[in-house]
Amino acid sequence: MACILVVAAHPDDEVLGCGGTLVKHTLAGDRVHIVFMADGETSRPSSTSEASARERMAHQAGEVLGAQSLHFLGFPDNAMDSLPLLHITQKLESIIQPLQPDTIYTHFGGDLNIDHRLTYQAVMTACRPQPESSVKKIYCFEVASSTEWASQIDVPFRPQRFVDISAVLAQKKRALDFYSKELRPWPHTRSEEAITLKAQVRGNQVGMSAAEAFMVERELC
């Protein structure tokens, strides 16, 4: 039984990036835990109640995904670059150390969103491959309207790992339904239709009906 940790910048990134994969981990008997770095709301002209509502959505989506625990670190939304990386990393380490995960899913380091980038950096710093580290695998997921919108000066997202989510795509969609406020009408890349098409395209690339794609940052065997 593996211990899986998702380190996501905002509630909804976990479903967009690896929701189907997490359902498969749960069905396999693995323990799934999720960390959210920021609330995804307070950078907007919205009230604290909306941030609280986003947290409730995360718990509802987490139930569909089978997550055993959710952790909210409360960093400033879309302003994580206002804090020292050391501060972010140390707070993340306080979650990783007791959980002792062997596999981590997190953001692609080249995403457009600054919180995504700093989440990736914090994960890589907190999970340095030291002899006592429990983390053997790190996979980076893609997030609609951030990964594909990254600057061309950065290394593009080129996945090497594909997880067949054909049988659990409905559960991913059900979890995403709780974040319906974050979706946009077609043909926006974050529309429900585009997200489904992305899963189908990633699957078609490797002979599957639907898949989630990941860049392999680390695999220790």
Q: In the structure, what pLDDT confidence band is assigned to residue 210 with cuts at 50, 70 and 90?
A: very high
Determine the Cα–Cα distance for residues 70 and 62; give it in Å rounded to an integer.
8
User: Amino acid letter at 207?
Assistant: G
CATH of domain 3-162+214-219: 3.40.50.10320
Pair of tokens at residue 45: 């002209």
Averaged pLDDT for residues 179-187: 97
What's 81's DSSP letter? G
**Cβ–Cβ < 8 Å for 66, 32:** yes
53 φ, ψ (degrees, to nearest 5): -65, -40
Q: For 154-182, give one letter per residue: b (16+ CB within 10 A) or e.
A: eeebebebbbbbeebbebbbbbbebbeeb
| Residue 151 or 212, more confident | 212
Instruction: Look over the chain and give the mean of its residue pLDDT values, rounded to a whole number.
Output: 96
Q: In the structure, what pLDDT confidence band is assigned to residue 46 with cuts at 50, 70 and 90?
A: low
**Cβ–Cβ < 8 Å for 66, 23:** yes
Instruction: Centre a 10 Å sphere on the Cβ of residue 96 and count the other Cβ atoms it contains.
Output: 21
Determine the Cα–Cα distance for residues 20 and 27; give it in Å rounded to an integer.
11
- Note the pLDDT tens digit of each residue in 71-115: 999 999 999 999 999 999 999 999 999 999 999 999 999 999 999
User: Amino acid letter at 20?
Assistant: G
Which pLDDT does position 48 carry in this prediction?
A: 59
Which pLDDT does position 47 carry in this prediction?
A: 57
Pair of tokens at residue 117: 């980038």
What's 188's DSSP letter? S
Q: Nearest-CA neighbor of 165 among 136, 200, 194, 115? A: 200
